[in-house]
């Protein structure tokens, strides 16, 4: 009986973890750059855009530690972080990524150079 209860408890905990991960994926668009619980700074890179190559759909960005080459594919989600403008975040496109903007990227794999699953672009405040 104890073995059965342990299996049921483990299954419930496992399903709870999947639900949290799915929930975060569904709401990631609304989370500002650098504020993703459990992701920002651990599984993402936050830095400034140094250059944009529209022909290859790549960007070069840097943080305090390194320079990164980032590939934006057709499946990469681009989100515009408008929290500093006191506006709702929205879906963007590759054309919204500009030199000098702060971005946060979540890579598809473990490698910190290459294709990304999503990129958040912090929209500047214009005065």
Share of the chain above pLDDT 90, in %: 56
Neighbours of 42 (CB within 10 A): 7
Q: For tokens 């070069």, name the residue.
A: 60
| Residue 105 · residue 61 · CB < 8 Å | yes
The pLDDT mean for the chain works out to 84
Which residues are bridge partners to 104 per DSSP? 46, 120
Q: In angstroms, how far is CA 49 from the centroid of its own chain?
A: 15
Do the Cβ atoms of 30 and 78 come closer than 8 Å? no
- Could you tell me which residue, 33 or 20, shows the higher pLDDT? 33
Global pTM value: 0.77
Task: Report residue 120 as tokens.
Answer: 């958040």
């Amino acid at each position: 009986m104890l073995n059965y209860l342990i299996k049921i408890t483990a299954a419930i905990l496992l399903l709870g973890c999947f639900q949290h991960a799915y929930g975060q994926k569904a709401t990631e668009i609304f989370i500002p750059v650098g504020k993703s619980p459990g992701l920002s700074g651990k599984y993402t890179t936050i830095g400034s855009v140094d250059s944009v190559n529209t022909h290859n759909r790549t960007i070069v960005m840097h943080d305090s530690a390194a320079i990164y080459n980032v590939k934006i594919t057709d499946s990469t989600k681009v989100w515009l972080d408008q929290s500093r403008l006191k506006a709702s975040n929205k879906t963007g496109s590759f054309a919204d990524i500009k030199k000098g903007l702060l971005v946060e990227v979540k890579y598809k794999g473990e490698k910190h150079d290459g294709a990304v699953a999503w990129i958040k672009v912090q929209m500047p405040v214009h005065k």
